[in-house]
Amino acid sequence: MYSDTGIYSERLMANSNIARSIATGFGIGSLPIAPGTWASLFCALPVFVLPNEFTPWVYAGLAIVSILLGLWSIPRVQPSMGSDPKSVVIDEIAGMSLVCILPTVIHSPWWWLAGFLLFRVFDIAKPWPANIVNDRTEGWAVVLDDLIAAGYTILALQMGFFVLQIATIWLQSP
C-alpha cells in the first residue's frame, strides 16, 4: 500500500523552513545582539537610496506584505521557537515600515534618526496598550505590539513636527 506521509513531511518541513526564514527576517533575527534593532535599521536604511516620490509607496507595500507574512509565519514557528522569541523580527520590519512612510522621516536624516530611535524605545518599553497585547501569545499579538509602537512613534514625530512649526512661526513673527 502506498503512503504519502513522506511527501507530506517534506512539504511540512519546507513550509517550516520558509516560515522560519520569513519570521527571522531572512536571518537578521539570528544576529546575537539586538536582532530587533538590526531588523529595524535594515528596514529603515533604504530611505536614503529610494527616490522620494516612491518611498512612501514602497514602505506602505512593505508594511502590508510584512504584516501578512508575519501573521502567516509567526504561528508556524512558535511551536519550535517559543511565543515571541527575539529572533522573530518580521514584526519589527512591519512596524518600522509604517514609520518610514512619513514624509518627515523620508526627507530629513534627523527625523529619520528620531523615528528609528523612538520606534525602538516604544517597542522595548511597550506602553499601554502594547503591554497588554504583549502578554498574549498569539501570532497576531506579536505583530500588533510593534504596530502600536509604530503608532506611538508616528504620533510623537507628528507632534514634534507640529511644535517645531509653531515655534518657527512664533520666532519669525515681529
Please name the amino acid found at residue 167: A
Average pLDDT on 132-161 reads: 89
- CB atoms under 10 Å from CB of 108, counted, come to 13
- Angstrom CA distances, 59 to 50, 105, 158, 172, stand at 10, 12, 18, 35
Better-predicted residue by pLDDT, 33 or 103: 33
Q: What is the pLDDT of residue 40?
A: 94
Q: What is the pLDDT of residue 8?
A: 47
pLDDT in tens, 87-134: 899 999 999 999 999 888 888 889 999 999 999 999 998 889 978 888
Q: What predicted TM-score, i.e. pTM, was given to this entire model?
A: 0.84
- Dihedral, CA atoms, 8, 14, 15, 17, nearest 10 degrees? 150
d(CA 82, CA 99): 27
